[in-house]
Every structure is written in C-alpha cells, then in structure tokens.
Homo-oligomer: A and B are copies of this chain.
C-alpha cells in the first residue's frame, strides 16, 4: 500500500506529490511549520490527508516543545493550530482534525507533560489508522453501487494519495475491483494541478487497475459515447443539505452525468460532512495563485495583461448527487435527514 504519510521517530514522512508521476520522493517534516508549508504548496493534499497531516503536525509541535506546564504547552499548540488552520480554507477535515487534537489535549492536560505529548502522538496515529479503516468501509459500502464492468469516471485524486491510504473514491473503485468487478477508470487530468494525470493515474498503475487519462474537456464526449457507467469523486466538504464542495470541475462532471443518466457518487468520510454548514453557498472556496493556470512546467501559456481565475473548488448542488458513500453507510436524498442520521451513528457499519 502507498504510504502517503506516516509518523516516524524522526518526524512526519510523506510523499512529495508535486514530483509525481516521474519521481517518487519522500521527505520528512520535523516541524509543524514544515507541515503547514507542505499543505499550502500541495506537497500533501486531499481533504482526509490534510486532516491527518495537521493532527500529526500538532503532535510534532508537542513532541519538540520545551514547555514545562500544560498551560504553556497549550499556548504553543494553539499557535500551531492557528498556523495550520490558515493553510487551506475549503477542506473541513483540516478544522475537524485540529479540533479533535484540541479536545484530546483537554482530556489529558492534567497528566505529566511527557505523557500529554505521547497521548497526542498516539491520537494523531489513531486518526491515521481510522482514516484507512474508514476508507476500507467506504469501499465495502460503495463497491456494490458500481457496475460489474465498464468505465467509471473520476475527477481529481481521491485516492490513497489524498488520504492516509486506500482512498475514498478510489477506495470504492479498489473494493469493486477486489470483488472481481471489471472496472476501467477514466481519470480526468484535472487542470490546473493535474491530480488526475499525475496522481490518480500513478496510483492506479501501481495497483494494476486499468486506467485511461483524458483532458477534463473530454468527459462529455466519453459519456456520450457510452464509455462511462458511473462517476465517483471525493469531497472537501459536504454541507448538511448534501451540497458537495470538491475539486474545480466536479460540478461540470455532475451536470454531464445528469444529462447522460449516469449515477454520480461522492465518497467521503463523516469527518468531511459539516453539519454546521447548511448549504454549499456557505462553504469558503479557496482561490489559488493564478500562476497554476498561466504557467505549466515553467512555461508561460497565458499572455501578460489577461486576467485569470483559479478557484480550487466548486460546489455541486445535492440534486446532482445520486448518493454519498460514507464509512457508516450510504446517504441518499433527502440528505438533511440521511447525513445527520449517519453523523449521529457511533459505530461503523451499514
């Protein structure tokens, strides 16, 4: 299994995703600042992976803290949390993970400093393990929805590289393939950051799952030619009403799927569901550097003096979403009810 990120005795070891697919380079962050920087520059990306990385970043800050009291340690960790929370605004897993580490701290703050540090490190590692387990459960639930053979389209990378391992959308595909389904994945290249061509294609190739890369602009033509039997994507935030924020271009894919009568599935852990957010219009959408659009591999593609937009995400209204696959089961419309029911569940299971 691909080791996207792991807690080691030296720090947090992770795959530099900006170097894929031609170079498999691992780096080790020894400070929370390095973790924040890796999230900001998308060396680590994908909502669940960002959450786990942030938790590990807080555990790392605790490990190297010279604080002699819980109050001093808390002040340091609050600064670290603040730094991490400002890296990227859309993926709610980031804030969920930071809050979980804060809650953990409060539960153990009466213990000796050394024990608090160890408790935080264990909590971060637990979140890592839980994320993989959640993805496997999502795979189990979602695999039944996919056709027994044929093309499944995905956008961006919601795979092992976007999570602690196994993946959300690609986890569903992996589970379907493990069940013997003959899936051929169509991967949108996903401009501007090319997560589809660089990352999804790479991890599917590693697993021997057949895949075809297409430009984002080809998805409609592939659907019209009957090559796509289902769409499955991940999510950065799911609002209480089922509106889904995910990588820019997801909305276009959802509209195309509807036009062709193709089911459109979202796979996301419960930590991505933000019940405090009533609908998609309340989800903050990150605007990234326009150079991601204007320059590719260092070459200028847009002339100077022309404006550029670069929203990193879009919102797909719930009405386009056939089902949301979580580790606790499958939610269907009306999502206000189904999502809050799943969020209230404590045990993993269908």
Contacts and interface: CB of A to CB of B under 8 A. Distances in A.
Interface of A: 20-22, 155, 188-192, 194, 197-198, 201-202, 204-205, 210-222, 224, 248-249, 251-252, 255-256, 258-259, 293-294, 296-303, 305-311, 314-315
A302 B197 contact: yes
B301 A194 contact: yes
A115 B219 CA distance: 52
Nearest to A300: B22
A181 to B, nearest CB: 19
Which of A188, A259, A310 gathers most chain B CB within 10 Å?
A: A259
A216 to B, nearest CB: 4
A192 to B, nearest CB: 5
A255 to B, nearest CB: 5
Contact of A255 (B255, B297, B309): B255
A296 B218 CA distance: 17
Nearest to A203: B303
A248 B218 contact: yes
B255 A259 contact: yes
A296 to B, nearest CB: 5
A294 B197 CA distance: 8
Contacts of A255: 220, 255-256, 259
Chief secondary structure at chain A's binding surface: mixed
A190 to B, nearest CB: 7
Which of A189, A258, A259, A306 gathers most chain B CB within 10 Å?
A: A306
A249 B301 contact: no
17 contacts: A21-B303, A189-B191, A189-B293, A191-B217, A197-B294, A201-B303, A201-B306, A205-B306, A212-B309, A213-B294, A214-B293, A221-B252, A221-B311, A221-B314, A222-B309, A252-B252, A255-B256
Given A205-B303, A301-B194, A309 B218 contact: yes
B297 A249 contact: no
B306 A218 contact: no
Contacts of A315: 221, 224
Which of A202, A302, A315 gathers most chain B CB within 10 Å?
A: A302
Contacts of A21: 300-303
A301 to B, nearest CB: 5
Contacts of A303: 20-22, 201-202, 205
A220 to B, nearest CB: 3
A230 B50 CA distance: 38
Nearest to A260: B255
A202 B298 CA distance: 19
A309 B302 CA distance: 25
